[in-house]
Amino acid sequence: MERPSGAAGGEGGRRGGGATQNRRGKRRQRKPKNPAGAGDSGAASSAQQPQYREDSFSSLTEDITCSICLDDLTDPVYIACGHTFCRGCITTHWGTPHPHGYLCPECRASCPRNHIVPDYRLGNLVSKIKQGIQERNAMQEHLLAMEPDHPIQLVWADRSGRLNLNQSEACDCFLNTQYSHYPVFLLCIIGEKRRGKSFLMNYIMRALRSMEMGEEFTLGADDEALKGFEWSPGTESTTKGIWMWNRPFILDHKGGKTAVFLLDTEGSLDIGSDRETCIKLSALSLFLSSHLIFNVASNLKETELDYMEMYLNMGEEYGTQNLQHLDILVRDWYNSKKWDRDVAHFYISREIENLQQRNSYPKVLWSLKSNQTRCFLLPHPGKGITGESKGRLQDMDEDFQESLRSYVYEVIRVVCTHIKLNVYGEILTSAHIFSMLKEFMEVLDRQKYGFSSPMEMFYAIKNQRLMGDIENEFEEFLKNQSSLTLPPTLRVKASEKYSELLVKYQQSLLGNSTSSREAMLMDLEVALLKRQEKFCSDFTTRFTMNAVGVGITAGLGVYGVLGAAAARGTVVLATQPVVATGGRAVAMEVASGAVSMLKTGMVAMLGRFFR
């Protein structure tokens, strides 16, 4: 192996040198090439292509091989010319005298025998590469031993439109101890039915599988039938609800591992008359994803803009890190010859101009201008793929095949940098995703108010969270009341706070649905009144018991009871006029309790006197 400071190569007369030269020749021929069209990708932003090599660990082993024993370096040392060998190999090789001195087996340069320097860093590198190869082989054996991969239905809607979570499958997938602590990348695709979402996801899956096995980026063989998420050409929808691959793809990145989950949806934008279910499915997909593919046909329509606006509002509500990366993928682009980055940029610029003229969808407009949003164009796949096709690459038009390979590569390229983060920028694991999924399903299940648009649903969720905040504020107010406060005074304060919070909530309500706003306001009124009555009732009971207890402690005599009652305000409470109507009743209750104890005290005192 040659160090960066080593001499230039010489003759390869010996067996070791020749073998090394052959290996170097192989390495020169194995330069990875860009996927077709990657240089003209439809991405709105570009980045340098990473080096995906076929069997990357194997290529590294060629660089850590001793050219004498043709095996991995053991106790590596380098000599004066810069070449590296096993210590035992070079010592044995120089054990036989040579008329021209001690020559390097690689470059035939004359080197002093006493200049043999240990290369500890290279030794550590060799150990790490060997460990990596062992782990890679173990992963391959594990994948081969696993049951066949398959899609699972994560969420489905029943006849009433209620969403149901497949908890058993979700638990098995997200809480698997083998990877539940890994950072996650969750790729989701939404859009109208029959627009090739499952078709695209299956090709992304092929590329991920090759990366997981440590192989070169590929979409598979030209004649390989497409398998994975169910798909078929035609007009009938196949996938209903939200489907997920039954396991993540585990990718290595900078010494760590990332769990890549794939979500496929159908009916997220077009469940027919059941619009609420449609909106809920979309909201759930948007909430979970760390990278969203918005699959659109030809151009952005009103429906898609509605969903994008909701998507971005949801991101703001739950933390922008949750919904940060967006691809707008335009399908069936009319010009199969022009779909590169410049054309995609022109397309987005035109959409921005249209939105500016309409003065609508402010968050969509902001998003289209953001560096976090990318645009890609895919031409029509051709007649060969839309008929009775098995989804093979050879059935596609050449232009579509090239653009597909380019786009899939762009998605794969950013997998490990688009991991899921929370609002504080902290890395989330698949275990966190499971908790988030359950929590958001509960939020959706509580939405009993109807909504007819994506934004109305966002408003409903926002209003529900505001209601919870108001209830918490009222609860905190009640807890902070002094135990010395008179019950009528407390009731007046609670009533004033109740009215104040109702006005605050009414002014904060979002949305254009009057009926929904009125229903939520009424729900809050009922909740606050119920909490107020319970707290005031409990407070009055405690107050009375405290007053009586102090009277008894002071002595079982008339003066003791009266003194204690006066000290606690009981007698005053019984004699002073009470302004509030509700307070008068409470005062009478407390006074009655005090009088009862006075009678008891007098009887006890007289009994002792006459005894």
- Alpha-carbon Rg for the chain, nearest whole angstrom, is 37
Identify the pLDDT of residue 262. Answer: 93
Identify the pLDDT of residue 18. Answer: 37
Identify the pLDDT of residue 551. Answer: 57
| DSSP count for the chain of H helices, then E strands | 19, 12
DSSP state of 513: -
Where b means 16+ CB within 10 Å and e means fewer, 446-457 reads ebebebebbbbb
Identify the pLDDT of residue 260. Answer: 94
Per DSSP, the three-state class of 563 is: helix
Spatial neighbors of 273 by CB under 8 A, at least 6 apart, are none
Report the largest interatomic distance among the alpha carbons of the chain, rounded to a whole angstrom: 136
- Tokens 């509605």 label which residue? 306
Identify the pLDDT of residue 305. Answer: 85
Per DSSP, the three-state class of 84 is: strand
> Low-confidence residues of the chain, pLDDT below 70?
1-62, 137, 139-148, 194, 231-240, 267-274, 314-324, 386-389, 423, 447-452, 548-611
Question: Is 251 within 8 Å of 208 (Cβ atoms)?
Answer: yes
Domain boundaries, the chain: 15-137, 148-381+412-445, 454-605
In whole angstroms, give the CA distance from residue 372 to residue 199: 25
Please provide the CATH number assigned to the domain covering 15-137.
Answer: 3.30.40.10
Q: Which spans in 30-175 are helix H? A: 56-63, 87-93, 120-145, 167-174
Q: What is the DSSP string of 27-41?
A: HHHT---PPTTGGG-
Identify the pLDDT of residue 38. Answer: 42
pTM, entire model? 0.59
Where b means 16+ CB within 10 Å and e means fewer, 228-249 reads bbebebeeeebbebbbbbbbbb
Spatial neighbors of 287 by CB under 8 A, at least 6 apart, are 314, 318, 322, 323, 436, 440
- Tokens 């101009």 label which residue? 353
- Of 1, 213, 448, give the one whose Cα is nearest residue 205: 213
Domain covering 148-381+412-445, topology: Rossmann fold (3.40.50)
Contacts 24+ apart (CB under 8 A), 125-129: 125/64, 126/64, 126/72, 126/73, 126/76, 129/57, 129/60, 129/61, 129/64
In whole angstroms, give the CA distance from residue 220 to residue 396: 14
Q: What is the DSSP string of 336-359?
A: TT--SHHHHHHHHHHHHHHHHHHT
Q: 190 forms bridges with which residues in the sheet? A: 294
| Token output for 188 | 């989701």
H or E stretch at 398 = helix 398-413
In whole angstroms, give the CA distance from residue 283 to residue 444: 9
